[in-house]
Amino acid sequence: MNQIRSSFFSIVSIILNVGFGFVFNKIVSVYFGPVGLALLTHYQNLVAFFMHIPQEGIHKAFINQLTQEEDSKSHTGRIFTQAVFWNVLIFLVQWICLLVYMYWADSPLEELFVDTGSSLLIGVSFFLFVLNLLASSWMVARHKLKRYAIYTFLLGITSVIGMFCCIYFDITDSLYWIILAVTLSNFPVFIYMFFTVYKKFHYSWSDVTSIFKGKDYFMPLILMGAVSLLSGKFLDYVIREIAFDLIGPYESGLWQSAVKISQAFVFLCGAFLATIFYPYASECIKDKTKLNAYVKKFMFLYVPVTILGVTSMFVLRDLLFKILFTEEFVKADKYFLLILIGDWLRCVSWVGAYLLMASSDTRRFIFFEILSGIAFVLVFLFGTEYFTWEVMAMANLVRYIVYSILIVIYYKTVWMVKEDHS
């Protein structure tokens, strides 16, 4: 009953997140067209890049520790304090690197970060977003998914309100105003998180110093997050920058509309895996029989549902482009099939990736990420001479074919074979 209830609130939060995202994209596409959507997506990719290590490293480790160790205030406070410390440290390093990059690089987003005022606002908002994610991770680990749904609703509604304020006060002459307005949505959400989560725990400097005494809970998953950042988000961001210059903003905007629809599916799968599958897998990671039974049961439902999802999206693609964007974006359907297949493989392979994180299997995780990243780069480089967005879609597909094969081999050798011999 508990898991059914948790699943319900998880689905509610996911639907809210996707729904608000599409409302946002719809308004941007109406007011700014493909060029505006391309610029917005470029910014969102930057945000995703910035949040990757906290989300996939620190916060996954945080959930892992909460689900495996005793539920005591002292233990929770200790790992929460360490998580905040690592978030602050990694944020500062990333922010300095970002400002240096934006100063020297010829990026479409350069104006946002070279200007001192907007750079400061975005920096503070990024940091609050990181802390909001940490608090939401505590909600997930403790199965407080009703609160998590409220958090998702607040984050989405404040973003949409910020955007509508720009429209109401007629400051839509530049997409930068929209980005800044949405960025500020993290402030009211942090207030909610402060009173519902952060005030609950005791923080001590000794909990931070224990990191340097061999009691660090986070380093293995931080390392995993850093490697997946370089082989995934960073690689994607750099190549998209190259593609943006090669193809131009209009065609890039069409491509991004197809990616956004497919990424809604990816987000649905990823959020469900993160809030339902990963916490339970972490709880029973030391019991192979129990874990193997859970994974088989989960995949029996998960795979058919995801196949049905991508098939429905492909059949309804023209309608989706018209509803979610405008008639002009229907031309992007030429990219859709390859994108969908690649993203479906990504979502299925993530089950194995979450097992790697739950078991802190750093070596295999790094090896899989690097090898699949190499496959992605090789296909891209091969097609650069006559580059089209189809080449990008094919490169992404090959990457997740390689990753899926590695995950299948890993699961059969680590979880099935060893269990059969026990």
| Torsion from C-alpha of 401, 404, 405, 410, nearest 10 degrees | 160
- The angle at the Cα of 79, spanning 77 to 81, to the nearest 5 degrees, equals 65
- Report the Cα 267 to chain-centroid distance in Å: 7
Question: What pLDDT digit, counting tens, does each position of 151-171 carry?
Answer: 888 887 887 787 777 777 766
* DSSP category for residue 120: H
Residue carrying structure tokens 């940091």? 127
What are 279's two structure tokens?
């916490």
The three-state secondary structure class of 186 is helix
How far apart (Å, rounded) are the C-alpha atoms in residues 294 and 281? 8
Find the domain containing 49 and state its range: 2-421
- Report the Cα 353 to chain-centroid distance in Å: 14
* DSSP category for residue 197: T
Question: What pLDDT digit, counting tens, does each position of 187-207 carry?
Answer: 888 888 888 888 777 767 676
Looking at the 3D structure of the chain, how many domains does it have? 1
How far apart (Å, rounded) are the C-alpha atoms in residues 186 and 362? 32
**Relative orientation angle of helices 219-228 and 2-53, to the nearest 10 degrees:** 70
Question: What pLDDT digit, counting tens, does each position of 298-350 carry?
Answer: 999 999 999 999 999 999 888 888 887 778 778 777 778 888 999 999 999 99
pTM: 0.67
Q: How far is CA 345 from CA 130, 261, 265, in A?
A: 28, 16, 12
Report the half-sphere exposure of 223 (CA within 13 A, side-chain side).
Answer: 13
- CB distance 359 to 285 below 8 Å: yes
Question: What pLDDT digit, counting tens, does each position of 235-289 carry?
Answer: 777 777 776 677 776 777 777 778 888 888 888 888 888 878 888 888 888 888 8
